[in-house]
Amino acid sequence: MTDTPPDRLSNDPKSPHYDAAALERGIGIRFNGVEKHTVEEYCVSEGWARMAVGKTVDRHGRPLTIKMTGKVEPYYHTLAPEK
């Protein structure tokens, strides 16, 4: 595994950009220089992140999201989260 997170990643298992190994390792996101914890999907090369809006969910139980453009900086956490 490399030390560089993927260019595009989603935490939805139905997405073609889902990567369980990367998510299990633990990824943090800085969006426009601010640490964000509600990122559902991001793309570094295109410069956008899709973030959850509050606790509202759609009819399928997935969080409602908003797509925001800006500088996306993903990084791996130094310690993997415990199970």
User: Is position 47 within any domain?
Assistant: yes
Number of domains in the chain: 1
pLDDT higher than threshold 80 for residue 82: no
The verdict on residue 1 lying in a domain is no
Cβ–Cβ contacts within 10 Å for residue 18, how many?
A: 14
Residue 2, domain member (yes or no): no
> Is 24 contained in some domain?
yes
Domain range for 22 is 8-76
Question: Does 81 fall in a domain?
Answer: no
Binning pLDDT at 50, 70 and 90, where does residue 77 land? Answer: confident
What is the reported pLDDT for 20? Answer: 94
Classify residue 55: in a domain, yes or no. Answer: yes
Spell out the long-range contacts of 58-66 with Cβ–Cβ below 8 A and sequence spacing 24 or more.
Answer: 62/12, 65/40, 65/41
Express each pLDDT in 12-66 by its tens digit: 999 999 999 999 999 999 999 999 999 999 999 999 999 999 999 999 998 999 9
| pTM for the whole structure | 0.85
Q: Tell me if 83 is assigned to some domain.
A: no
Residue ranges of the alpha helices (H) in 1-83? 20-25
pLDDT of 81 > 70? The answer is no
Question: Does residue 39 lie within any of the structural domains?
Answer: yes
